[in-house]
Chains A and B, each alone.
Chain A
Amino acid sequence: MTVLALDDVSHTFGGRVALDHLTLAVRPGRVTALVGLNGAGKTTALRALAGRLRPTRGVVRLLGHDPATLPADVATRFGHVVDTPLVYPELTVTENLRCAARLHGRSRRDAEAEASAAVGRTGLDPWRHARAGTLSMGNRQRLGIACATLHRPAALILDEPTSALDPQGVVLVRELVRGLADDGAAVLVSSHHLDEVARIADEIVVLHGGHDVGRLQPGGTDLEQRFFAMVLGADTAAAGAGATGTRTGDRA
Chain B
Amino acid sequence: MTPAAALRAALAVEALKLRRSVVARLATALLVVLVPLASVGMVALARSPQAGGPTAAKLADYATGDLATVHLVVCAQVLSVAALAAGGFFVASSFGRELESGTAGALSGLAVPRGTIALAKCLVALAWIAGCVVLTVAVTVAASAAVTPGGLTAGTWGGAATALVAGLLGGGLALPFAWVATVTRSQLGTVGALVGVVALTQIVVLLGGGSWFPYAAPSLWTGMGGADAASDVGPPHLLLAAAVGPLAVGAVVHAWRRLTDV
Contacts and interface: CB of A to CB of B under 8 A. Distances in A.
Nearest to A107: B5
Contacts of B102: 83-84
Interface string A3-34: 00000000000000000000000000000000
B107 interface: yes
A86 interface: yes
A62 B20 contact: no
B105 A47 contact: yes
Contact of B109 (A80, A84, A88): A80
Contacts of A83: 102, 105
Interface stretch (A49-57, A197-205, A206-214, A216-224): A49-57
A12 to B, nearest CB: 12
Interface in B1-30: 1, 5-6, 9-10, 12-13, 16-17, 20-22
A95 B12 CA distance: 11
Nearest to B110: A103
Interface string B94-113: 00000001110111111111
B157 to A, nearest CB: 39
Contact of A75 (B12, B16, B111): B111
A105 interface: yes
Contacts of A102: 9, 12-13, 112
Nearest to B261: A53
B16 A52 contact: no
Contacts of A85: 106
A105 B105 contact: no
Nearest to A91: B20
A135 interface: no
Q: How large is the interface on A (under 10, 10 to 19, 20 to 34, 35 or more residues)?
A: 20 to 34
A24 to B, nearest CB: 17
A142 interface: no
A245 to B, nearest CB: 31
A76 interface: yes
Interface string A107-118: 010000000000
Interface string B209-221: 0000000000000
A51 B20 contact: no
B111 A76 contact: yes
Contact of A84 (B105, B111, B113): B105
Contacts of A95: 16
A108 B13 CA distance: 11
Contacts of A73: 1, 111
B20 A75 contact: no
B109 A67 contact: yes
A103 B260 contact: no
A72 B109 contact: no
A90 B101 CA distance: 13
A87 B98 CA distance: 11
Interface string B112-124: 1100010000000
B197 interface: no
B108 A67 contact: yes
Nearest to B9: A102
Given A73-B111, A76-B111, A105-B110, 8 more contacts: A51-B108, A75-B111, A80-B108, A82-B106, A87-B106, A99-B12, A99-B13, A103-B10
9 contacts: A52-B261, A52-B262, A84-B106, A99-B12, A102-B12, A103-B110, A104-B110, A105-B110, A108-B12
